[in-house]
Amino acid sequence: MKFRTLAIHAGHEPADHQGAVMPPIYQTSTFAFQGVNRPGPFDYSRSGNPTRKALETCLAALEGGTAGFAFATGMAAETTVLMLFRSGARIVVQSDLYGGTYRLLESVFREIGVEAVYVDLRDLAAVEAALSAGAQAVWIESPTNPLMNLVDLAAVSVLAHQNGAITVCDNTFLSPYFQRPFEFGVDVIVHSTTKYINGHSDVVGGAIVVRDPHLAEKISFLQNAMGTCAGPQDCYLVLRGVKTLAVRMEEHQRNALGVARWLEAHPKIEAVLHPGLPSHPQHELAQRQMRGYGGTFSFRVKGGQAAAFRLLEAVKVFTLAESLGGVESLIEHPVTMTHASVAPATLDAMGITPDLIRISVGLEDLEDLIADLDSALQKI
Catalytic residues: 46, 98, 170, 195
The DSSP call for residue 101 is: H
Of 291, 298, 285, residue with least CA distance to 337: 298
Element containing residue 182 per DSSP (H, E) = none
Element containing residue 330 per DSSP (H, E) = strand 330-332
- Chain centroid offset of residue 116 CA: 19
- Work out whether strand 206-210 and strand 67-71 pair parallel, antiparallel, or are unpaired: antiparallel
The DSSP call for residue 65 is: -
Residues β-bridged to residue 169: 140, 189
Give the chain's largest Cα–Cα span: 74
- Work out whether strand 90-94 and strand 137-141 pair parallel, antiparallel, or are unpaired: parallel
| Neighbouring C-beta atoms of residue 312, cutoff 10 Å | 19
Of 75, 122, 114, residue with least CA distance to 95: 122
| Neighbouring C-beta atoms of residue 361, cutoff 10 Å | 27
At position 49, the amino acid (one-letter code) is N
- Taking a C-beta distance cutoff of 8 angstroms, is the pair 233, 25 a contact? yes
| Neighbouring C-beta atoms of residue 217, cutoff 10 Å | 12
Q: Is 182 exposed, middle or buried (0-12, 13-18, 19+ CB in 10 A)?
A: buried
